[in-house]
A and B are shown apart, each in its own frame.
Chain A
């Protein structure tokens, strides 16, 4: 929960590569291959998340480090992963993966306009992205709110000590959250590359991670539905801003919105009780 930044920034980036990998093998324009690609991305990103948690975060938690330390570790980790893909991965794979340049795009789905809503064309890619995002969000929401593991996660988020006393394994729960974070980031990476085929580059994850962190903060850290709302709001406002002020002001609008919202709701739109409890 603390290493939000690290999760997003580093893992989205990692997620790119495996999905790129699956593209390499990919043959046809089928949902099956998309599914396999997504699974590959999820596996690698989730695995990396758990690995990072083990190597970098667990020692910090053992010592009870302040949250600033976690954030700095997350930034360091995102540097490491970026540069790993930049320099080390091309050596390991003989130059097929990673490096300075973006990966050759592999278009699995050709964008085709399916129908229009109010004059706006909806392509098959848009449909796939929206549907998968909704399914994943629903699944995660169910997992957090309905299952035993989810209850454990919420308990640890609220009060780690009491949760431990009540028989929740804190370490296991934290590992689980990192795994979920990684898996979702891996899935998002595939959806992103569907939309932006040329986006598979070593430095591509950083700004995306920042945006994702913005969305989570906007909605309120620790609130899943808030994060969804924040993401939607950020995306919509960004694009409205782009139309009103021009393309170059897109990111300015996004960050200005963030600052304005946080001025009036310092813990995000929906993240009130939990945010205050841990502030």
Chain B
């Protein structure tokens, strides 16, 4: 497998595989870390085994707020509420990741879609709003759920409206235009007093009325359910988990489809993609619309949980914070951005109200108030040392689909398990090659041959 680019060398002088095609240059970081080994192991498992491990893990994640793990819980605020917030930001991060991470379009106005989702639900269901429909054609108990698809439709439409004129722009120009859009949405919410309540906001937004009991006349999702472990925050967290899983499945399937491949192509080199016949504008628009609709779901969740929307909650700083979550976790990696969202939401709340940590006295409130300083430092340091984020994305064999990819990994594993010829680094070189190249490596031959072939490539030069 000879390539036109010189094969890079690790500090030990070991020839690595071809440089990955990824936008983030991972060539300065050798392959085969813990993450890669886990990925290898995970991909080598059969589908049922993956489910067998994945489902209990998901249940554990869902139970985190009620398990009351000593160090993990927050002292100053309600842990359920924090987790509910995390669920929403995670959903936003997944949506923004489609736009920024997968299609490579820097969107600084994502908060606009979030705001549109929240305001759609609020306008339809708040008693303050002139267009309140809860007594008209929306059932009182299910108003929130009924308003949700409307919110998603309207946010997708707004994504289309914003995207179709602006997606011809690139880079910095696109960033500033989307930022302008986000600000316009917020200012509209602020200025259209008759409809949105202006700076007063809209109160009494609907929420799902389920689980009505004697003690909880408004159901488990109401803000009145504030006491105890199983409070409304936990319920909202569970609801957002449902949406997270749905959107993960959706986005994951898109990623492996023609659309996802087009996104990667656009992200890596838009001109080249265009020349190869990818209708770049259409797929960029798709990314925008899908990202926007996920943001709309998050907005609807937010409006339902807080039951109150106000323009100041949708300013540009939030856009930057969402972007921070995506970049921190790893652009393009769905699970990475969820981790990023967790860090963004959880860390400030973790320090809130804490006076000591592992016996060391600290002023938690002060540390929590410094959060933007820390996020700024984290962004800059991360960009310098690890621009791919905490959990970087690996390019997969998009051209061949997942089955062949898994087969290649299994073959690689079998080869190293039985293999004697490749003793120096079990598994890793083969995997690096299989994962580092798109289409160029023949996956079925990937296992045993890669070790030699990269060396060959090195010698021919």
Query: Nearest chain A CB to B126's CB is how many angstroms away?
Result: 22
- Judging by beta carbons under 8 Å apart, are A259 and B165 in contact? yes
- Judging by beta carbons under 8 Å apart, are B380 and A77 in contact? yes
Which chain B residues numbered 166 to 205 have a C-beta less than 8 Å away from chain A? 166, 168-173, 175-177, 179-181, 183-184, 187-188, 190-191
- Judging by beta carbons under 8 Å apart, are A76 and B177 in contact? no
Which chain A residues numbered 155 to 208 have a C-beta less than 8 Å away from chain B? 206
Residue among A67, A76, A87 making CB contact with B380, cutoff 8 Å = A76
Query: Nearest chain A CB to B316's CB is how many angstroms away?
Result: 7
- Interface membership of A149, Cβ < 8 A: no
- Judging by beta carbons under 8 Å apart, are A255 and B181 in contact? yes
- Judging by beta carbons under 8 Å apart, are B387 and A69 in contact? yes
Which chain A residues numbered 61 to 105 have a C-beta less than 8 Å away from chain B? 63-69, 71-73, 75-80, 82-84, 86-88
Residue among B169, B183, B380 making CB contact with A80, cutoff 8 Å = B380
- Chain A residues with Cβ under 8 A from B370's Cβ? 83, 87
- State in angstroms the CA–CA spacing of A66 and B173 once bound together: 15
Residue-wise interface mask of B (287-319) relative to A, using a CB-CB cutoff of 8 A (1 in contact, 0 not):
000000000000000000000000000001100
- State in angstroms the CA–CA spacing of A263 and B317 once bound together: 25
- Interface membership of A221, Cβ < 8 A: yes
- Interface membership of A24, Cβ < 8 A: no
- Chain B residues with Cβ under 8 A from A206's Cβ? 316-317
Residue among B173, B190, B376 making CB contact with A76, cutoff 8 Å = B376
- Judging by beta carbons under 8 Å apart, are B183 and A79 in contact? no
How extensive is the interface on chain B, given as a class? 35 or more
- State in angstroms the CA–CA spacing of A255 and B324 once bound together: 23
- Judging by beta carbons under 8 Å apart, are A259 and B28 in contact? no
CB closest residue in chain B, given A255:
B180
From A66, A86, A206, residue with most partner B Cβ within 10 Å? A66
- State in angstroms the CA–CA spacing of A254 and B171 once bound together: 20
- Interface membership of B276, Cβ < 8 A: no
CB closest residue in chain A, given B106:
A68
- Chain A residues with Cβ under 8 A from B190's Cβ? 248
- Judging by beta carbons under 8 Å apart, are A267 and B173 in contact? yes
Number of A interface residues at 8 Å Cβ cutoff, please give it: 48
- Chain A residues with Cβ under 8 A from B25's Cβ? 63-65
Query: Nearest chain A CB to B34's CB is how many angstroms away?
Result: 23
Given contacts A76-B380, A252-B187, contact A217 B373 (CB under 8 A): no
CB closest residue in chain A, given B327:
A72
- Interface membership of A60, Cβ < 8 A: yes
- Interface membership of A210, Cβ < 8 A: yes
- Interface membership of A112, Cβ < 8 A: no
- Judging by beta carbons under 8 Å apart, are A214 and B376 in contact? no
- Judging by beta carbons under 8 Å apart, are A63 and B181 in contact? no
Which chain B residues numbered 70 to 107 have a C-beta less than 8 Å away from chain A? 104, 106
- Interface membership of B243, Cβ < 8 A: no
- Judging by beta carbons under 8 Å apart, are B320 and A79 in contact? yes
- Interface membership of A213, Cβ < 8 A: yes
User: Which 10 A-B pairs give the minimum distances between C-beta atoms?
Assistant: A79-B376, A76-B379, A255-B180, A83-B373, A80-B376, A76-B380, A73-B383, A263-B165, A59-B384, A76-B376
Instruction: List residues of chain B with CB under 8 Å of any chain A CB.
Output: 23, 25, 28, 104, 106, 165-166, 168-173, 175-177, 179-181, 183-184, 187-188, 190-191, 316-317, 320, 323-324, 327, 369-370, 372-373, 375-380, 383-384, 387
Instruction: List residues of chain A with CB under 8 Å of any chain B CB.
Output: 4-5, 56, 59-60, 63-69, 71-73, 75-80, 82-84, 86-88, 206, 210, 213-214, 217, 221, 248-249, 251-252, 254-256, 258-259, 262-263, 266-268, 279
Known contacts A56-B384, A255-B183, then 9 further A-B pairs from the complex at CB < 8 Å, ordered by chain A residue: A5-B175, A67-B171, A79-B375, A82-B372, A83-B372, A87-B369, A251-B187, A258-B176, A258-B177
